[in-house]
Amino acid sequence: MRPAWHADPPVPPAAVGSGLVTAPKTSLVPPAEAVPPVRHPDAPAPGEPIGSHYDQCFGCGSGQPHGLQLAARAGDGVNVTAEFTVRPEHQGAPGLAHGGVLATALDDTLGSLNWLMHVISVTGRLETDFLRPVPVDTVLHLDAEVTAVHGRKIYCTATGRIGGPEGPVAVRADAVFIEVKIEHFVNNGRPEEIQAAMSDPDQVRRARAFEVNP
């Protein structure tokens, strides 16, 4: 049976300032016409490390000393696992991981699913449940999987466990990622970083390869 947090209750209009915000949120539950995700034939082999999105990525880039330095590995389906060790610079309350940092860990792990489908996508909506506090020095064992695809929408879910890969769930998230082209970054990113990334042949080759799906 699906846990209660999967239920997607109707979202009432929220009052903001003197007006009403009525834009509907996209449901995190895939529509009936959604299809199962397909593992790309050139996806990393099960257990193989998945490189970072980008060297300066706060979630997984090795060039960010205060980042999460997430190390993800491919699963045998359209899924990944990753570990994140909470360091003192990730605190919110004394001795505990900041909730936003934990959400980032979930988000970035979900973002690594791109490599399994050879699709570039960005977070459209991320809903996070915080179930247990996560102390500094804890290793958060993350796993994420794509559950369904509908057009450009990629429905996915992630959990973070403490005390080992089979330990209790501390955080979890449901998300909808939206497929984009490389132009999404080229047209919106700050020119300095875009130029640096575009002059790195490995980065460009990796990103472009995703645009040629069989």
Ligand X SMILES: CCCCCCCCCCCCCC(=O)SCCNC(=O)CCNC(=O)[C@H](O)C(C)(C)COP(=O)(O)OP(=O)(O)OC[C@H]1O[C@@H](n2cnc3c(N)ncnc32)[C@H](O)[C@@H]1OP(=O)(O)O
The 8-class DSSP code of residue 4 comes to G
- Asked if 195 touches ligand X (CB under 6 A), the answer is no
Task: Give CA angle at 74 (71, 75), nearest 5°.
Answer: 125
Residue closer to ligand X (CB basis): 148 or 178: 178
- Asked if 107 touches ligand X (CB under 6 A), the answer is yes
- Asked if 207 touches ligand X (CB under 6 A), the answer is yes
Residue closer to ligand X (CB basis): 136 or 180: 180
- Asked if 111 touches ligand X (CB under 6 A), the answer is yes
153's tokens: 């929408």
| Residues ≥6 apart with Cβ < 8 Å to 118 | 40, 42, 43, 209, 210, 213
Cα(194)–Cα(181) distance, rounded to whole angstroms? 14
Q: Which residue has the tokens 């050879």?
A: 118
Site string for ligand X, 159-178 (x = CB under 6 A): -----------------x-x
159's tokens: 């959990």
| Residues ≥6 apart with Cβ < 8 Å to 48 | 73, 74
> How many residues at the interface with ligand X, by CB under 6 A?
23
Question: What minimum distance in Å lies between the beta carbon of 133 and ligand X?
Answer: 24
Residue closer to ligand X (CB basis): 127 or 136: 127
Q: Which residues bind ligand X (CB under 6 A)?
A: 26, 53-54, 107-108, 111, 114, 120, 122-125, 151-153, 176, 178, 180, 182, 185, 197, 203, 207
